[in-house]
Amino acid sequence: MTDLIELTAADAAARVRAREIEPGELFHAYRERAAANELNAFTWVADGAPEGSPGVDTALGGVPIAVKDLFCTEGVPSQAGSRILEGYRPPYTATVVGKLSAAGAPLLGKTNQDEFAMGSSNENSAFGPVLNPWDRGRVPGGSSGGSAAAVAAGLAPWAIGTDTGGSIRQPASLCGIVGVKPTYGACSRYGMIAFASSLDQAGPLTRNVTDAALLLSQMVGHDPLDSTSLEFPGPIELPRAEDLRGIRLGVPEDLLGGAGIEPGVRSSFEATLALAEGLGAIVEPCRLPHAPHALSAYYLIAPAEASANLARYDGVRYGLRVDGDADLDRMYSHTRAVGFGAEVKRRVMLGTYALSSGYYDAYYGTAQKVRTKIAEDFASAFERFDFVVTPTSPWTAFELGAKTDDPLAMYMNDFCTVPMSLAGIAGISIPSGLSDGLPVGFQLAGPAFSEARLLDAAHALELAIGFDGSVIRR
């Protein structure tokens, strides 16, 4: 059994196609580990692969996948970590989940998350926090914390999550795995329970860069059901690069200076830059003068969009209803008071305020102008550099409860990841080593639709770093 668990997803798929292992055997091995659920990473686990799952000769070879709870899955609980959707079983399936299933990855289970993807620690889930497998007294990051913990601990071969301001990259960083935030529009958002529609993107969380490339290659593409999705230019091949000759990496010191980066994270970042130079990369400082303002713009834009998206939870069409005997207005406001957790209420309030009459221009309008400047900063950086690199998170996994009383301190988790989200560009986090026994993440960001090049560069770095996450899968 342990042997099966030790295979990367891409290797497992290849072994299935070579008739060396049975997909049912693989599903069973992971199902048993997922169902034990010691980390509270899953909110639902499948009994078996669905009847009529595509056969052995598929791109994803029957290797089962864990899916963040906010992806709608027909007939299966899809609760987005919220009490207001407790027990909700949608009548349809998200496009990305359907594509993966058709490509040969059956649904293993649904993973725990911060409520409506709002959070950086998974402590905002109505179903309890997920524990970090490296230290169960610490958070796995968020909001895709269940997906990240499940992959890191070998409870799932691979997983998908969503990233709005860092919700794939930051938990990947804190759990010592790979996480990709694709270009905005690369993957369909149809059937993803919405948080901030101009920022939300689905992406892979995997043990290594090759698995991420394989999974992403089956996720991308235009979907007639999402008018913001685009045809992906060119195929995503498995990465092969082993060096970084001629690749120019920009280090945005004006962003890093304001991030409050821990010394252990900083030294892992510096060591990775030295490795990159050893592989032939040219590493130089680059300017992103507006990036330090990204967090402020983000915490106006994302809550504003969330306040509009979450208006649909009104106790009428699905989910919770409270005080159904009162009049309509009281039913609405009581349902939302009981159904939403503290962080969701905070962001709905913040967003409603930022959009309210008399404040719209000062807050939302200004934030959207900052967003334009941030995108321009990246565009000029990419004239000189192939990729911009930063630590993914300013710190390693922190203790449960350490930041729950200070929302602003919690928001600082996203300092290095929100600029890319606002610009709509592609980013990846790979593990760069350990600091005091906890994983550190290294982020590479490239222009829109540069995923193939980005994965190649990440692959070369991954080989040189030689991070070994197998210790926590045992």
Residues that bind other proteins (CB under 8 A): 88-92, 183-185, 198, 224, 227-228, 230, 290, 293, 296-297, 299-300, 307, 311, 314-321, 324-334, 336-337, 340, 345-346, 348-350, 352-353, 356, 362-363, 365-373, 375, 407-408, 411, 422-424, 448
Q: Please, which residue, 181 or 207, has the CB nearer to other proteins? A: 181
Closest separation in Å from C-beta 388 to other proteins: 16
Give the active site residues: 68, 143, 167
**Range 299-302 contact pairs with CB under 8 angstroms and sequence separation of 24 or more:** 299/350, 299/411, 300/350, 300/351, 300/354, 300/363, 300/364, 300/366, 300/367, 301/196, 301/198, 301/199, 301/364, 301/367, 301/368, 301/371, 301/422, 302/164, 302/165, 302/195, 302/196, 302/199, 302/347, 302/351
Closest separation in Å from C-beta 153 to other proteins: 32
> Hey, what amino acid is at 428?
I
Q: Please, which residue, 157 or 424, has the CB nearer to other proteins? A: 424
Closest separation in Å from C-beta 407 to other proteins: 6
Q: Please, which residue, 30 or 411, has the CB nearer to other proteins? A: 411
Q: Please, which residue, 19 or 317, has the CB nearer to other proteins? A: 317
Q: Please, which residue, 345 or 473, has the CB nearer to other proteins? A: 345
Residues 6+ apart with CB under 8 A from 254: 287, 288, 289, 291, 292
Closest separation in Å from C-beta 202 to other proteins: 16
Q: Please, which residue, 18 or 337, has the CB nearer to other proteins? A: 337
Give which of 226, 258, 99, 201 is closest to 428, Cα–Cα: 201
Closest separation in Å from C-beta 419 to other proteins: 12
Closest separation in Å from C-beta 369 to other proteins: 4
Closest separation in Å from C-beta 372 to other proteins: 5
b/e per residue 271-307 (b: at least 16 CB within 10 A): ebbebbeebebebeebebebbbbbbebbbbbbbbbbb
Closest separation in Å from C-beta 197 to other proteins: 11
Q: Please, which residue, 209 or 350, has the CB nearer to other proteins? A: 350
Q: Please, which residue, 133 or 303, has the CB nearer to other proteins? A: 303
